[in-house]
Amino acid sequence: MEDIIEIRSHAKRNVIVTTLIGLLLLCVSVIMLVTMPKTIYLVGIFLLSASIIAFLIAWVKYREPQFSFLLSKSSICYQHKNGKWVLPWDNIQRVDVPHVSSGLERKSLHMVAIKVKDYAPLLENISPRLMSNILMEQRPLLFHNMPSANSENCSSGSCYSDELLEDDIYKDAQGKIYKGITAMFANRMTKLRQRLGYDLYIPVSELDRSEHEFVTLLKQCQQQVIYPTN
């Protein structure tokens, strides 16, 4: 295994190309607004608006970290514009592509999922901003395997809204109590583990390869770290 394996997300790509497209659209729109007849004035406005959108997209891409993942011999580090989390290899129980049942079929979620052995090391090194971002982004996952509105525990149907909320107090297996956003994040991981079998979920947009290839890479890295060969 290399000392550091760097993974660049799709979101970081094409910053320069997007900026150049914005500049081109801006130049064309200015020329049209200044020199062309008023009959095509709206076209110039449209191109000007498109150039602004291109600049905004380029700015969002630029703000993303250079690498979304750093795989070292000690841990896997996920980097986001809102913070990062670090997970030692020996604290990973399982890595795979999650699936959900849809009728008689099982469909891939096109994500990479990680099952964590102990929440404590993760909760102690993840930033509150990143936890808030993950809680918002992963809300759609809660709609998989939700309790039926016709079940005895959900006769009113209110369970659908209740399931989107997390308690702000969490007690781990060692008896340590977490509060606030950290507790909500831990409770969300617990809920997703019950539903889908994993705690952390990584969208394929954060990767430079397919979810299956990234899962294979993580398994190989973990295998080499935990069971090194001479």
Amino acid identity of residue 104, one-letter, is: L
Q: Contacts from 77-85 at CB under 8 Å and sequence distance 24+?
A: 78/202, 78/206, 80/130, 80/133, 82/127, 82/129, 82/130, 82/132, 82/133, 83/126, 83/127, 83/128, 83/129, 83/130, 83/131, 83/133, 84/126, 84/127, 84/130, 85/122, 85/125, 85/126, 85/130, 85/200
The pLDDT confidence band at residue 154, using thresholds 50, 70 and 90, is: very low
- Mean pLDDT value of segment 156-181: 77
Question: What stretch of H or E contains 152?
Answer: none
pLDDT in tens, 57-73: 777 767 777 788 999 98
Q: How far apart, in whole angstroms, are the C-alpha atoms of residue 177 and residue 190? A: 15
State the chain's mean pLDDT as an integer.
Answer: 82
Q: Phi/psi of residue 168, each to 5°?
A: -100, 20
pLDDT reading at 103 higher than 70:
no
Q: What's the pLDDT score for residue 158?
A: 47
Q: What's the pLDDT score for residue 148?
A: 52
Share of residues in the chain with pLDDT > 90 (%): 33
Decide: residue 184, CB within 10 A, 0-12 exposed, 13-18 middle, 19+ buried.
buried
In the chain, what is the greatest distance between 2 CA atoms, to the nearest angstrom? 75
Q: Are 116 and 90 in contact (CB under 8 A)?
A: no
The pLDDT confidence band at residue 8, using thresholds 50, 70 and 90, is: confident
Report CA 148 to chain centroid distance, whole Å.
Answer: 27
Q: Are 78 and 68 in contact (CB under 8 A)?
A: yes
Report CA 91 to chain centroid distance, whole Å.
Answer: 20
Q: What's the pLDDT score for residue 57?
A: 78
pLDDT reading at 187 higher than 60:
yes
- Token pair in block for residue 64: 């993303």
- Token pair in block for residue 181: 């956003």
Most confident of 109-118, 157-166, 217-226: 109-118
Share of residues in the chain with pLDDT > 70 (%): 84
pLDDT in tens, 10-51: 666 666 777 888 888 888 888 877 777 777 778 878 888 888
Q: What's the pLDDT score for residue 89?
A: 93
Q: How far apart, in whole angstroms, are the C-alpha atoms of residue 71 and residue 207? A: 13
